[in-house]
Amino acid sequence: LLQKLCIPSSDEIQAINRTIRQNGESMRYLLPKGNIPFDISLVNGDYAVRQTESDDGVQKSEYAYELHFSYVKEEGARHYVQFSMSGFKKDGEEPGQKISSLAADFVKIIYPVTLITDHSGNFVAAEPHKEITEIIREIEKLKNYHTGSYAASHIDQMKQTMADPQNMYNSLKKMLAIQFIFNRFYQAHYHSKDTTFPYKDELSWLAPALPVRMEMIHQILPQTDTGFIELLQKGRSADYRTVQELYFTHQDYDEHIRPHPASVEARHKALYTLDGKDFSILKINAETELQMPGYEKKITFELEKIIGHNYH
């Protein structure tokens, strides 16, 4: 029997591809294992971060800073990434001269820090680039340049903090930026509708309080530009603790307690923009709304990779 092979024209192919992108269906072929491909070396680069905090719709503060990552090596089942921060500003301005100068000197002594992740990209440890004794000795020398009881108090506090390497890890793992980049984002499993199965993760929206445990889900948005992939991440609190209990930082989480009416209420939403070629993170726009005793708090987080131009 003779069969007729119908080949669509170029216009018809473009129309088909456009429909596939609009439906978000093309992503299914890019995720053969149900996960977004993860390559931690692609974290290399500089990132601009901006965070705001509002109470009952009135903005109270805005923080901005830059992050710097440089992939170092893979050793065993772990990855090593050099990390530093710079350009800290509050409400659009640099901190006061005395504080700014002392903080800048702390940064020069402490950074860069080596972040250590497991094979899936989970942040598991941090190491200073110098011996602890050397860091403490350099911090103590700052008293020769920063006089007064206020500076001395900060210097002694920093020495005490740096004396225990675990403090560095505990501090860094509370950073929202670290949590957004090194979290379970790439481990989420997608099913046939380009939506992930629910999973649990933690975000420190109320740092220095403990992170809020949340139930997350992702949805791949229709693709309008093949150069970029957009995913919407939504979450809600799955934490049994009250807002006050989140500040009990030395209290272990009890997996057997279920959320109750007094538990913290939080709603989370984040739009991830990924590179269409390698799935690396280019931009994150996130916000959360937390119901506090007597008022509602809203916190926003924006991260953008600095590579010559902006992504909007």
pLDDT tens digits, one per residue of 162-175: 888 888 898 899 99
Average pLDDT over residues 295-308: 92
Average pLDDT score, the chain? 86
Q: Is the pLDDT of residue 17 over 60?
A: no
Question: According to the model, what pLDDT value does residue 310 have?
Answer: 46
Question: According to the model, what pLDDT value does residue 129 have?
Answer: 87
Residues of the chain with pLDDT > 90, as a percent, come to: 53
Question: According to the model, what pLDDT value does residue 312 have?
Answer: 45
Average pLDDT over residues 85-104: 71
More confident of the two residues 273 and 277: 273
CA distance 310 to 312: 6
More confident of the two residues 209 and 27: 209
Q: Go through the chain and tell me how many residues it has.
A: 312
**Pair type for strands 212-220 and 295-305:** unpaired
Question: According to the model, what pLDDT value does residue 33 have?
Answer: 72
- Find the helix or strand (DSSP H, E) in which 80 lies: strand 78-90
Question: According to the model, what pLDDT value does residue 104 have?
Answer: 79
Q: Is the pLDDT of residue 54 over 90?
A: yes
Question: According to the model, what pLDDT value does residue 311 have?
Answer: 45
More confident of the two residues 215 and 3: 215
Q: Which two tokens stand for residue 164?
A: 């225990």
Residues of the chain with pLDDT > 70, as a percent, come to: 85
Lowest mean pLDDT among 4-8, 292-296, 299-303: 4-8
pTM: 0.83
Question: According to the model, what pLDDT value does residue 137 have?
Answer: 93
Q: Per residue in 226-235, pLDDT tens?
A: 789 999 999 9
More confident of the two residues 94 and 131: 131
Average pLDDT over residues 109-132: 91
Q: Is the pLDDT of residue 28 over 50?
A: no
Q: Is the pLDDT of residue 49 over 90?
A: yes
Sign, CA dihedral 97-63-249-43, equals negative
Lowest mean pLDDT among 67-71, 103-107, 113-117, 283-287: 103-107
Q: Where are the alpha helices (H) located in the chain, listed in sequence order? A: 10-22, 97-110, 132-141, 149-162, 165-172, 176-181, 243-246
Q: Is the pLDDT of residue 267 over 60?
A: yes
Instruction: Write b or e for each residue in 275-305: b if 16 or more Cβ atoms lie within 10 A of its Cβ, otherwise e.
Output: beeebbbbbbebbbebeeeeeebbbebebbb
Question: According to the model, what pLDDT value does residue 309 have?
Answer: 44
3-state secondary structure of 270: strand
Question: According to the model, what pLDDT value does residue 32 have?
Answer: 62
Q: Which of 30-39, 41-50, 142-151, 185-194 has the highest mean pLDDT?
A: 41-50
User: CB-based burial of residue 218 (10 Å sphere; 0-12 exposed, 13-18 middle, 19+ buried)?
Assistant: buried
More confident of the two residues 306 and 293: 306
CA distance 104 to 234: 37
